Amino acid sequence: MVYIYDTTLRDGAQTKGVSFSLEDKLRITLALDDLGIHYIEGGWPGSNPKDLAYFEAVKGLSLKNSKIVAFSSTKRKGVKVEEDPNIQQLVKTEVPAVTIFGKSWDAHAVKGLGVSLDENLELIGTTISYLKKYFDQVFFDAEHFFDGYKSNPEYALKTLKVAQEAGADCLVLCDTNGGTLWYEVEEILDAVLKEVGAPIGIHAHNDSDMAVVNSLIAVKKGAVQVQGTINGLGERTGNANLCSIIPNLVLKMKVESIPKENLKKLYKVSRLVSELSNRPHPLNLPYVGENAFAHKAGVHVSAVEKSSELYEHVKPEVVGNKRKIVVSELSGRSNIVSKAKEFGIELDKGAPEVREILKRIKELEAQGYQFEGAEASFELLLREALGKGKKYFELKGFRVLTEKRSEDEEAYAEATIKVEIPEEIARKKGFKERFEHTAAEGRGPVEALDKALRKALEKFYPSIKEVKLTDYKVRILNETAGTQASPRVLIESTDGRRKWGTVGVSPNVIEASWLALADAFKYKLSLEDKE
Last-in-domain residue among 408, 428, 460:
460
Question: CA 420 to CA 428: how far, in whole Å?
Answer: 15
Domain match, 356 and 298 both: yes
Q: Is residue 308 part of a domain?
A: yes
Q: Is residue 287 part of a domain?
A: no
CATH of the domain at 424: 3.30.160
Q: Is residue 289 part of a domain?
A: no
- Determine the pLDDT at residue 300: 66
- Determine the pLDDT at residue 481: 45
- Determine the pLDDT at residue 203: 98
Domain match, 221 and 87 both: yes
Using the predicted structure, report yes or no on whether residue 483 has a pLDDT greater than 50.
no
- Please, which pLDDT band fits residue 155 given cuts at 50, 70 and 90? very high
Domain match, 167 and 185 both: yes
Domain match, 50 and 173 both: yes
Q: What is the mean pLDDT of the chain?
A: 90
pLDDT digits (tens, 9 = 90+) for 6-28: 999 999 999 999 999 999 999 99
Please compute the mean of the pLDDT values over residues 126-138 and round it to a whole number.
98
Q: Is residue 448 part of a domain?
A: yes
- Please, which pLDDT band fits residue 477 given cuts at 50, 70 and 90? low
Q: Is residue 286 part of a domain?
A: no
Please compute the mean of the pLDDT values over residues 395-404 and round it to a whole number.
92
Domain match, 227 and 161 both: yes
Highest mean pLDDT among 150-164, 301-315, 412-426: 150-164
pLDDT digits (tens, 9 = 90+) for 172-210: 999 999 999 999 999 999 999 999 999 999 999 999 999
Last-in-domain residue among 242, 276, 310:
276
Q: Is residue 288 part of a domain?
A: no
pLDDT digits (tens, 9 = 90+) for 177-186: 999 999 999 9
Domain match, 162 and 151 both: yes
User: Please, how many CA atoms are within 13 Å of residue 444, restricted to the half-sphere of its CB?
Assistant: 6
Using the predicted structure, report yes or no on whether residue 46 has a pLDDT greater than 50.
yes
Domain match, 127 and 241 both: yes
Please compute the mean of the pLDDT values over residues 384-404 and round it to a whole number.
89
Give the DSSP letter string of 45-97. Answer: TTT-HHHHHHHHHGGGS--SSPEEEEEEEPPPTTS-GGG-HHHHHHHHH--SE
Of 133-142, 197-206, 318-327, 494-503, least confident by mean pLDDT is 318-327
- Determine the pLDDT at residue 66: 98
- Determine the pLDDT at residue 301: 59
Using the predicted structure, report yes or no on whether residue 248 has a pLDDT greater than 90.
yes
Domain match, 203 and 330 both: no
Q: Is residue 282 part of a domain?
A: no
Of 220-224, 229-233, 304-308, 316-320, least confident by mean pLDDT is 304-308
The number of angstroms, rounded, from the C-alpha of 355 to the middle of its chain's C-alpha atoms is 37
Question: CA 403 to CA 392: how far, in whole Å?
Answer: 32
Query: Quick count: other Cβ atoms within 10 Å of Cβ 412?
Result: 17
pLDDT digits (tens, 9 = 90+) for 441-457: 998 999 999 999 999 99
Question: CA 327 to CA 339: how far, in whole Å?
Answer: 8
DSSP tag of 136: S
> Which residues constitute the domain of residue 431?
393-460
- Determine the pLDDT at residue 330: 47
- Determine the pLDDT at residue 331: 54
The closest of 448, 438, 450 to 493, measured between CA atoms, is 450
- Determine the pLDDT at residue 449: 95
Domain match, 442 and 529 both: no
Domain match, 416 and 505 both: no
The closest of 481, 467, 478, 472 to 510, measured between CA atoms, is 472
- Determine the pLDDT at residue 479: 46
Give this prediction's pTM.
0.72
* Structure-model confidence comparison of residues 68 and 346, the more confident one: 68
- Determine the pLDDT at residue 329: 46
pLDDT digits (tens, 9 = 90+) for 289-340: 988 987 766 666 566 666 778 888 999 999 999 877 665 544 556 677 766 7
Last-in-domain residue among 406, 431, 460:
460
The number of angstroms, rounded, from the C-alpha of 484 to the middle of its chain's C-alpha atoms is 36
CATH of the domain at 222: 3.20.20.70
pLDDT digits (tens, 9 = 90+) for 270-290: 989 998 888 888 989 999 998
Question: CA 395 to CA 417: how far, in whole Å?
Answer: 8
Please compute the mean of the pLDDT values over residues 355-361 and round it to a whole number.
77
Domain match, 428 and 489 both: no
Q: Is residue 521 part of a domain?
A: yes
Give the DSSP letter string of 472-528. Answer: EEEEESSGGGGGGPPEEEEEEEE-SS-EEEEEEE-SSHHHHHHHHHHHHHHHHHHHH
Domain match, 10 and 99 both: yes
Using the predicted structure, report yes or no on whether residue 138 has a pLDDT greater than 90.
yes
- Determine the pLDDT at residue 411: 86
Tally of domains in the chain: 4
Phi/psi-derived region of residue 23, left when phi > 0, alpha when psi is between -120 and 50, beta in every other case: alpha
